[in-house]
Amino acid sequence: MISTFPFHPDMRNKSVLVLVLGALLAFISVALPICAAFYWWSHLRAQDGSGTGHRLRYYFVAAREMEPGHQVVKQDLEFAVSRRQVGEELVQIPDDIIGSFVSNQIKRKDVLLLSGFVSTPTIEIPPGGAVVPVEVSASHISGLHPGLRVAFVKDSEMDPEAKDLSKKSAGPTFLILSIAVSGQDKNVASVLVAVEKCRMPLVKKIATGSWRPVIVKN
């Protein structure tokens, strides 16, 4: 004989209450993220007006100061996220500018725009002078940047010569325009320099062979 127990009304009420609470919690867990997303989207649309104002975007800023003519490397870039103007040509893919050259002075933390970089360095040829690429070891370019003035050393000779640089009215040294590491040999770099008219006799010499750059002050 199987005995049965009557289902007490209080137990029935508790079961119904548990079911209702469970359904309510399930609804909230689904509806809350949707409502939050809708609110955020509406908030952004309200601030943007027509939807073309500002919105949350990711992009890159300068990790360090860069001179015009500097060739961009991965270490120059720093990731950032904030609300930015829609339509800005932000740098969002590093490969878009790595290997290109800076066209204008960039300070640390400046927002990087695609328009600030060119595929070839800006070249200004001195009156009566020339622009010459000088081959150097990639290990010797640390500390160099466009805007510095250098002499070049190879074996026991230096151009311009030390005795010339020591003169009270010494002629100008070589102005660095850009620095680029060879795409074929990472151990070799090319330092593009401006040569003033008075240094033109040195062009043939510095354009031949590999040299070591020496930072000097005019």
Percent of the chain predicted with pLDDT > 70: 82
Provide the pLDDT for residue 184. 80
pTM (2 d.p.): 0.62
- CA 107, 108, 110, 115 torsion-angle sign: positive
Look at the domain 54-118 and name its fold. Answer: Type Iii Antifreeze Protein Isoform Hplc 12 (3.90.1210)
Contact in structure between 124 and 148 (CB atoms under 8 Å): no
Q: For residue 96, is pLDDT > 90? A: yes
Separation CA 95–CA 40 (nearest Å): 32
What is the structure's pLDDT at 49? 47
Mind listing the pLDDT tens digit for each residue in 127-181? 999 999 999 999 999 889 898 999 999 988 999 988 888 777 767 899 999 998 8
* 16 burial via Cβ count (<10 Å: 0-12, 13-18, 19+): exposed
| Residues forming beta bridges with residue 152, ordered by sequence position | 159, 213
C-alpha–C-alpha distance, residues 16 and 13, integer Å? 5
Note the pLDDT of residue 63: 95
Q: What is the mean pLDDT of residues 195-210?
A: 94
DSSP structural state of residue 73: -
4: left (phi over 0), alpha (psi -120 to 50) or beta: beta
Helices (H) and strands (E) in the chain — how many of each?
3, 10
pLDDT at 102: 93
| Stronger pLDDT, 45 or 108, i.e. the higher one | 108
pLDDT at 123: 82
Domain boundaries, the chain: 9-49, 54-118, 130-215
Which range, of 9-13, 48-52, 71-75, averages the lowest pLDDT?
A: 48-52
